[in-house]
């Protein structure tokens, strides 16, 4: 590392520490982490620090798609298996851990016991309302989402697939939805912001209109769960692998559990 690079990284670290020392901590974890990543991107002058890693993950996971498709087609309950596959994809996350074996992580999740809250209701409500807003989480994971999107559209359900409006961590953007083929299956929309999770106060008017009018929401990932678990008046199915103890305690499950959780309040 050259002197200039070292000085830039030291400045970035100082700016992050200064921000954290001045934060009043009334903001959510998602807001604080979003601001930290925005400081890093600003100071480093890089709009997408994870770009190469996301591209590598997309390449690796694209090779898993055919076997995942066969797994669903050969199962006794293709829709439920597609839900499990989509949840297993949430193992792909550069936030908690960067160096990991994708296929090994996914197989580990698929072979675990799932916490499934009213698993039949997702299909029945999707059929009743005929449309779903699907909130994406990570790059690479979009290939797993494609499996479930294919099952939904095969039932005649219209899917709006929401991605981030700008790069943040390894969260999915339009390019990731396109790489996985979801743009050919669903209407891909933007949240209008680059925040971690889903900060509704930052989202675009177009996205908020979609969110408010959607009768049914599929929310992928822990960040979206933390952002939306207290939202009132929306039917939301949360699909995630639990990666922190606070969320594990909130859901009353063990750390690492793959979860389907339905909330309507």
Residue 14 phi, psi dihedral angles, 5° rounding: -65, -40
Q: Which domain holds residue 9?
A: 3-18+28-43
Specify whether 36 is located in the same domain as 142.
no
Per the model's pLDDT, the better-predicted residue between 50 and 103 turns out to be 50
Q: What is the CATH number of the domain that holds 208?
A: 3.40.50.10880
Q: Is residue 23 part of a domain?
A: no
Specify whether 9 is located in the same domain as 104.
no
pLDDT digits (tens, 9 = 90+) for 182-204: 999 999 999 999 999 999 999 99
Distances (CA, A) of 27 to 76, 153, 211, 219, 259: 45, 38, 22, 21, 26
Task: Count how many domains the chain has.
Answer: 2
* Angstrom distance (rounded) from CA 64 to CA 109: 15
pLDDT score of 108: 78
pLDDT digits (tens, 9 = 90+) for 22-62: 887 777 888 888 999 999 999 989 999 999 999 999 998 99
Specify whether 117 is located in the same domain as 243.
yes
Answer yes or no: is pLDDT of 90 > 60: yes
What is the layout of strands, in order, in the sheet containing 158-163? 115-116, 258-263, 236-241, 217-220, 131-135, 158-163, 187-190
Specify whether 151 is located in the same domain as 215.
yes
Specify whether 170 is located in the same domain as 229.
yes
Specify whether 14 is located in the same domain as 65.
no
pTM: 0.91
pLDDT digits (tens, 9 = 90+) for 3-30: 777 888 889 999 999 999 988 777 788 8
Comparing 39-48, 108-117, 137-146, the range with the smallest average pLDDT is 108-117
**Mean pLDDT for the chain?**
91
Given the DSSP bridges, would you call strands 236-241 and 258-263 parallel, antiparallel or unpaired? antiparallel
Q: Can you list the alpha helix ranges (DSSP code H) found in the chain?
A: 3-22, 29-44, 51-62, 65-73, 78-88, 102-110, 119-129, 141-154, 174-180, 205-213, 222-228, 245-251
* Angstrom distance (rounded) from CA 227 to CA 237: 13
Tokens of 116: 């499934």
Rounded (10°) CA dihedral 191, 138, 177, 72: -130
Percent of the chain residues past pLDDT 90, beyond the cut: 75
pLDDT score of 2: 64
pLDDT score of 96: 45
Specify whether 72 is located in the same domain as 193.
yes
Specify whether 147 is located in the same domain as 206.
yes
pLDDT score of 93: 67
Q: Is residue 126 part of a domain?
A: yes
Specify whether 132 is located in the same domain as 13.
no
What is the DSSP-derived secondary structure letter of residue 91?
G
């Amino acid at each position: 590392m050259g002197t200039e690079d070292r000085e830039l990284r030291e400045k970035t670290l100082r700016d992050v520490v200064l921000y954290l020392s001045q934060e009043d901590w009334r903001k959510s974890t998602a807001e604080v982490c979003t601001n930290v990543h925005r400081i890093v991107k600003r100071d480093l002058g890089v709009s997408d620090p994870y770009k190469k890693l996301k591209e590598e993950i997309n390449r690796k996971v694209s090779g898993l798609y055919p076997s995942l498709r066969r797994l669903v087609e050969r199962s006794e309950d293709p829709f439920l298996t597609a839900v499990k596959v989509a949840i297993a994809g949430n193992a792909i996350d550069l936030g908690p851990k960067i160096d990991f074996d994708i296929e090994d992580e996914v197989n580990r999740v698929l072979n675990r016991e799932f916490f499934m809250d009213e698993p039949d209701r997702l299909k029945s409500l999707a059929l009743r309302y005929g449309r779903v807003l699907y909130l994406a989480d990570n790059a690479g994971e979009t290939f797993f989402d494609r499996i479930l999107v294919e099952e939904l559209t095969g039932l005649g359900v219209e899917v709006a697939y929401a991605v981030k409006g700008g790069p943040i961590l390894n969260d999915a953007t339009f390019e990731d939805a396109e790489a996985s083929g979801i743009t050919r299956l669903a209407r891909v929309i933007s949240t209008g912001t680059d925040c971690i999770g889903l900060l509704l106060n930052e989202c675009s008017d177009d996205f908020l209109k979609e969110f408010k009018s959607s009768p049914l929401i599929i929310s992928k990932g822990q960040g979206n769960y933390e952002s939306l678990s207290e939202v009132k008046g929306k039917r939301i199915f949360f699909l995630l692998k639990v990666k922190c103890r606070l969320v594990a305690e909130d859901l009353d499950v063990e750390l690492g559990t793959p979860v389907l959780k339905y909330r309507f309040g």
